[in-house]
Amino acid sequence: MYIVTGGAGFIGSGFVWELNRMGMRDIIIVDNLNCSEKWKNLVNLSFQDYEHKDTFLEILEKDKFPGVEAVIHMGACSSTTETNADYLIRNNLRYSQRLAAYCRKKRARFIYASSAATFGNGQAGFSDDPEQIERLKPMNMYGYSKHLFDLWLHRLGWLDRAVGLKFFNVYGPNEYHKGEMQSVVRKAYFQIQETGKVKLFKSYHPDYAHGEQKRDFIYLKDCLKVMAWLVEHSEVNGIFNLGSGRADSWNNLVEAVFAALDMQPRIEYIDMPEAIRSKYQYYTRARMDRLCSTGCPVNFHSLRQGVQDYVQNHLALEDPYLG
């Protein structure tokens, strides 16, 4: 049995799709559907049951799910602008601690979502070397909540039987419900449909021209391949970056969307909200050497390839969901 928390969400539902492709159906999905549209991500998937996140832990800890082989913990508050620290501690730290303790006790595989937000402004670099973890200083409460859990596992010595994945900028199918946290690829696609152009934030850093701020963009389907490999290789443990290993500009990203639509780029640069200017990351790039050294296949899509697949084989279709 596999348990996927956040299983109706972006990466979680994608991983259930990947498990189905591997022939696995004995899956418990944990999430909070509430009044969201996330349920649409589940329609094409095959799984055993759904549990609400608020009641799941109590059921789990009473051993109501025998034979759990792995818990893939993608469930959390993923909003980088969330300011309620108590809420983030409950959802991103305490909940994760209880799941990790259960997996430790039951000797089940535990794979969870950390975040590139733990690196803060990047001044300490983007190395996932475990010796560097104490040096990181996140810039927002979301990143700090993720960092606290990484530190907790590290200090307990529990990373010998767990995998944390520091996701960089993931884009791909099944993200439509994420509101402002949707990728710029999806936002750009619909801006182009509506106005024929895309709006990007101006740069406020002298070393970066407008739209030349750089990010490590990684396609969802590449993330899922890595996660599937890690499920099958329990000898590989620790915290790893999960990005493309490349830094591409926002201009490059938007140009890739226009190219997928066979259109000439039209970009308008707009003011960045003052509230985020001091916390804005101008450059991210995952160091992928540690993950590569494990033998994990990391031959990922290029930015153009990933965007083209997402736009033409998902966003442009009436049924854009994985499955």
29 phi and psi, to 5 degrees? -100, 130
C-alpha distance from residue 257 to each of 37, 196, 223, 243, 315 (Å): 25, 12, 20, 19, 11
CA 191 – CA 50 distance, rounded (Å): 35
The secondary element (H helix, E strand) that includes residue 105 is: helix 95-106
The pLDDT score that the predictor gives to residue 186 is: 97
**Nearby residues of 39 by Cβ (< 8 Å), 6 or more positions away:** 8, 33
* Residue tagged active-site, from 102, 112, 142, 176: 142
Please give the domain boundaries of the chain with CATH numbers for all domains.
2-170+218-243+284-300 (3.40.50.720)
CA 278 – CA 93 distance, rounded (Å): 26
**Nearby residues of 157 by Cβ (< 8 Å), 6 or more positions away:** none
The pLDDT score that the predictor gives to residue 280 is: 87
71: helix, coil or strand? strand
What letter does residue 306 receive in the DSSP assignment?
Answer: H
* pLDDT above 70 as % of the chain: 100
* Residue tagged active-site, from 106, 178, 187, 199: 178
The pLDDT score that the predictor gives to residue 321 is: 83
Q: Which two tokens stand for residue 196?
A: 């024929």
* 3-state per-residue secondary structure call for 38-55: HHHHHCCCCCCEEEEHHH
The pLDDT score that the predictor gives to residue 265 is: 98
**Nearby residues of 298 by Cβ (< 8 Å), 6 or more positions away:** 222, 226, 245, 288, 291, 292
- Do β-strands 214-215 and 248-249 pair in parallel, antiparallel, or remain unpaired? antiparallel
CA 45 – CA 47 distance, rounded (Å): 7
Write out the DSSP string of 263-310: ----EEEEPPPHHHHTT--SB-----HHHHHTT----PPPHHHHHHHH
257 phi and psi, to 5 degrees? -65, -45
Residue type, 63: D
CA 147 – CA 152 distance, rounded (Å): 9
- Do β-strands 198-201 and 163-167 pair in parallel, antiparallel, or remain unpaired? unpaired
Answer yes or no: 95 catalytic. Answer: no
CA 284 – CA 169 distance, rounded (Å): 9
40-75, pLDDT tens digit by residue?
999 999 999 999 999 999 999 999 998 999 999 999
Q: Which two tokens stand for residue 163?
A: 């995998």
C-alpha closest to that of 30 among 108, 91, 89, 86: 91
C-alpha closest to that of 70 among 114, 96, 106, 94: 106
The pLDDT score that the predictor gives to residue 80 is: 84
The pLDDT score that the predictor gives to residue 35 is: 84
CA 266 – CA 304 distance, rounded (Å): 17
The pLDDT score that the predictor gives to residue 121 is: 84
Answer yes or no: 225 catalytic. Answer: no
Positions in the chain whose pLDDT score sits under 50: none
